[in-house]
Each structure stands twice: as C-alpha cells, then as structure tokens.
Amino acid sequence: MKTGAAFPDFITSQKPREAFRHFDKKQKELRGFLIPVFLVAVLLFVFFRIFNLQILQGSYYRNLSDSNRIKSVIVYAPRGVVLDRNGTPLVFNVPGFRESPPAGGGKTKIIDQSEAINLLAQGKKDLEIDTLRSYPYKDVFSHVLGFIGQISKEELNQSRFLGYRGGDLIGKMGIEQEYEHILKGVDGKQLIETDSLGREVRKLGKKDPIAGTDIYLTLDAGLQKTAFEAMQGAKKGALIVSKPNGEILAMVSKPSFDPNLLTLGANYKLASSSSYQTVEQVLSDSENQPFLNRVITGVYPPGSTFKLVVAASGLKNRIIDENYQVEDTGILHVGDFSFSNWYFSQYGRTDGMVNIVKAIKRSNDIFFYKLSEQIGVDKISQMAWEFGLGKKLGIDIEGESAGTVPTPLWKEKTIGEPWFLGDTYHYGIGQGYVLTTPLQVLGWTQAIANGGTLYKPHLLKSIKPETIKSNFLDQHTSSLIKEGMIESCSPGGVAWPLFELKVHPPAGGSKLRIDGKNILEVSGASGSADMRQVVLACKTGTAQHGGENTSPHAWITLFAPAYSPEIVVTVLVEESGEGSNVAAPIAKKILEDYFSRK
C-alpha cells in the first residue's frame, strides 16, 4: 500500500502503543509497592497505639476507668446537740438534703424532705442526704445559739477550718460558731460501683461518720422563755440573767429572728411571733439590726446604774464614808450651765440632806455631781476599769464590745477638746462619754452582789468559774452600796414596781424558807400563807441620748435575795422612758418566775 504526502514514510502506528504500555506497567508496579507499605504503616500505628494505651499508659487508664466505675459519696456527720443546764434540748437535727454547688462555684442549697421528694421525682440525681439544723424555740434563743451556714472562701483559708471543704455548713453566730470544733462531727464515706449510665450496681464499702459532741449550756430554757416573753413589748433592748459566779442563765436581744429561716430551706413555714417572715426581711432591716446581739455588742450610756461605780470609787478611795452628806438644792449652777436633779425637774421637790445610802436609794443627781467632783475623773475611770469597763469581759461567744471609759487624755485625742467640770458631772451620773454594754452593767452588779469579785461570764456549763479580778471591794464599801440598793427597791426608793416583791413559793415551800432577812413572811393579806416576800437590791437608770425629742434608754440592774444572792438581772429597753416605769416591770417577771419554781 502506498502512502500519501500526509503520512511520511518514517511515521508508523506501532511506537506510541509501546510507550503507553510501558507507562501502564510502571503504574502497576508502583501500586503493588505502596499498598503493602500503607498496610504495614497502619498496622504499625495500631500496634504502637495499643502498646501505648495498654503498656505505657495502662495504669492511668485503669485508674480512670475505676474512677468512672466507682463513686465516692460523703456521709455527713450530724452535729452535736445543744442542751440547757437541765438537759432540755435547744437544737435538734432533722432529716434533710443538700444540693451541692456546681463545679464553677455557688452556694450549697439546703433542702427539706418535701422539696427533695419533688426534685427526685423530676429526675434530680445530685442531692446529698444530710441532717438539717432545727431550733425548736425559734426566736427565743436566736442570738445566743446562732445558726449555721455555708463556709465562705475567706473562712476556708483560716487555720481553724483546716480540713473543711467548700460547701460545708458551719456555725455562723453564737454558740454554733463558738463551739464549732466540738459540735462538728467527722464525715464518713461510702464507695459505690456504678454502671456506664451512672446507676448504682452495688456498695463496695463504707466508713461510718462520727457525730459531733453534745454540749450543755448554763442557760435555763424555762427562764429564757420567761425573759423573752417579758421583753415582748420592747422594740429594741437587751436582757441578761446570771448567777453571781458568771454563769449566764438567760440572754435576750430584741428584735429577734427565727434561725430556722436560715437552716430549714425555702419551704419552712414560720410558726413563731417573729416580725420577720423571710430571710430577706431579716437581712434588709438595717435600722433595727436583728442580727445584733445587744447584750454583748450594743454600747449605751449606763445612766444612773453607773452611780454604783462612782459610789464604789468614793468609798474605796476613802474620799467619803457613811457620814458624808450633801444638801440637795435641786439644781447646781456652773457658769452659764445648770445641772438639776431629776426629782426637782419633774416634781419641783428636793431630798434634803443626802448620804451615800440615801443617794443610791433616791438616785440623787446632786449628790453624785458633788461626789464626782471630789473624786475626780481619773479615779472614777480607775474604778470603772477595775469593774471591767473599757475592755471585753471574755464571754464565750463572738461580738463583744469594750465600750468607752473616758479620761481627759481620751477626750483630747478623740474630740480635740479639754475636759471640763461639766464633763465630770455628766460622768458622775452615767451620762456624757461613758459607754457600756448590758453585759458590763451586769458585771459590776454581780461584783457588788458577791462582795468584790468580778467573774468571767460564760455559757458553756463545763467551764469552771474564772475570776477576772477578786477582792477589789472591801466589805465596808460593798455593804454600804448594797444597803442603798436594798432601799432603792423598798418603799421610799425609786424602783416602785419592785417594792416588797411577793412570790408564790414552789410546792411545799421548802426552798423558799422564811429567814427574816432574805425571805420575809407576808401577813395580813388573803392567801398570805402561800406568799413570800423576797428582799431585793437594785438600781434603776434613765439614760439620756440623742436630742431632746428622743426618749431615754430605760435600765434596771439588781440581785436577789439581797443578802445571799442567787440571781443577777440587768434589763435595757432602748428609747422607752424611765427605768422604774419600763425596765423594772420586766425584771419583776423574771424574779417571780425564778423564785416561784426554785
């Protein structure tokens, strides 16, 4: 066959076919090599991965698997129970739950049984069984017992909370706070095996919790209840009752609050007479400050109750004796200033010649103006310090205030003014710059009652009475002051609600025997055979403060029986009127209850 011009002789159709065939052969050879290499690489990767997981990191993943399979559950230890001196429980532990805060933070939520049942029905799984704190007397003991709450970040950093966890509940006030280390138990632990869905398979082991230790207080539940009811009419005030050796029998601060609002969850139904219905109301009342324990934290001018301290200074320093007298002129003039006696201001009358006993009996201001001038501010302050003023007495709950004992140097530094004679006059009747707590007023009354020993006040019954200062009053001084206080509670004195206090003795009357000195026979009245008169020693006080339109604080402080004291009582009612009219009737209810059930 002959070819044309378009197809030269040297061009053939065989050569391209051979080139393509050679290229295809190379590709097949390359594929045959890469596939085994890839398979080997994959196998090596899998091998090394398995080697790494099972050999190199085997223990890590075994522990991780176990931790997912085994769950540790805290078994919370119940807190110790708080009881009064007679064994009456003041705090209970009741069944409940807590919802722990999320990992990012937040607060532990306290949940009661009814709320927990609803949440569990809805599929809630992170609830922890716990015991909740219940206060059966509600607002009666709130300031002394306190309450519990979640530990804060700041508290977790304190050494005393070493070993505590975030979300733990601790004492936040009062006895619950002070004796946290005793009341707090040791939590237990339970190990539970779960399946892949978190469901419990079986219990692997358990470490039982150790309950907190029960404690007994010096308080008397019955007397505390009487004291609280006696203070019901007081919007703000304080009442404290003790033995002459520092044991506290009752402590009330008004206004009060129901601590169950803070411990029993949102569903708690208020069943007390507290004016606060919710936690928010308690927290937001900045004017009345219901969390403030006025017995130990509140500071006030003591008014005429301070005349006992001034009298002790004059007698102990031998500046006066029982024969020293001052004529009551009704009013004293110092330059452009005048200083009057209450009896003259209210009734236009005077008390005539007044000695130390009559001055205490009649609470005569003129006598104490002149006496304070003779003693001088420094010696008055020295006596005040000996009675424990100007410093904390050391009661075993937090929040105690020291008060103020003024001196000329103190005034110069604090106010930038010199001390004037008028300041001394005001100081002599418990006004001006002197400030005390109700606990301190009780303290100096207690020291007079027991003959000159100041005891450290305490609430834990197992604490032995501890002396702060002993024998700093001689018998002559304490006897004269006591005589004036007895006269103050007798006809002719100023504490008229307490004149000739009569009480019904307990069954049989064996513990209220008539001795002609402390306990007197009551005659001439119907049913007098079933009555006894208790001899008292008291001092009222009416402390001015604020402006002229502000009502004074009402005070009374006393002990009974007068010659063999068993009980010391101090009452303060803020901005209420005269001590004899307001505070004395409250104290009377305490005494009637105490002696009628001795």
pLDDT of 102 higher than 70: no
- For the stretch 137-190, pLDDT in tens is 999 999 999 999 989 989 999 999 998 988 889 999 999 999 999 999 998 888
pLDDT digits (tens, 9 = 90+) for 550-596: 999 999 999 999 999 999 999 999 999 999 999 999 999 999 999 99
Q: Are residues 308 and 198 in the same domain?
A: no
Q: Is residue 296 over pLDDT 60?
A: yes
pTM equals 0.86
Whether pLDDT at 5 is above 60: no
SS3 of 338-391: EEECHHHHHHCCCCCEECHHHHHHHCCHHHHHHHHHHHCHHHHHHHHHHCCCCC
Q: Report if residue 279 sits inside a domain.
A: no
Q: Give, in order, the Cα–Cα distances in Å from 180 to each of 133, 145, 409, 445.
A: 13, 12, 41, 31
Q: Mark whether 211 and 84 lie in a shared domain.
A: yes
The 8-class DSSP code of residue 530 comes to G
Kindly state whether residue 119 falls inside one of the protein's structural domains.
Answer: yes
Query: For the chain, how many structural domains are there in total?
Result: 2
**Where a domain ends, among 216, 250, 284?**
216
**Whether residues 193 and 336 fall in one domain:** no
Do 81 and 201 lie in a common domain? yes
User: Do the domain assignments include residue 516?
Assistant: no
Same domain, 490 and 348: yes
Q: Is residue 195 domain-shared with residue 317, that is, in the same domain? A: no
Q: Is residue 225 one of the residues assigned to a domain?
A: no
Dump pLDDT digits (tens) for 355-368: 999 999 999 999 99
Could you tell me the residue range of the domain that residue 171 belongs to?
70-216
Number of H helices, E strands in the chain: 20, 24
| CATH value at residue 188 | 3.90.1310.10
Distances (CA, A) of 302 to 55, 464, 468: 81, 29, 21
Q: Does a structural domain hold residue 463?
A: yes
Question: Do both 323 and 178 map to the same domain?
Answer: no
Rounded to an integer, what distance in angstroms lies between the CA atom of residue 110 and that of residue 131? 10
Judgement on whether residues 327 and 185 belong to the same structural domain of the protein:
no
Question: Looking at 216, 233, 253, which one is the last position of a domain?
Answer: 216
Domain co-membership, 317 together with 421? yes
Last residue of a domain, one of 165, 186, 216: 216
For residues 190 and 316, membership in a common domain is answered with: no
- Please report the pLDDT score of residue 1 as a whole number: 47
Q: What confidence tens digit (pLDDT) does each residue in 312-345 have? A: 999 999 999 999 999 999 999 998 899 999 999 9
When the pLDDT of each residue in the chain is averaged and rounded to a whole number, the result is 88
Q: What CATH code is carried by the domain that includes residue 350? A: 3.40.710.10
**What is the C-alpha to C-alpha distance for residues 469 and 91, in angstroms, rounded to an integer?**
34
For tokens 């530094």, name the residue.
413
Query: Would 523 be classed as within a structural domain?
Result: no
Structural domain includes residue 107: yes
Per the domain annotation, does 433 fall within a domain? yes
Tokens encoding 400: 């105690």
Integer Cα distance of 438 and 583 in angstroms: 13
Task: Judge whether 201 and 191 are in contact, CB under 8 Å.
Answer: no
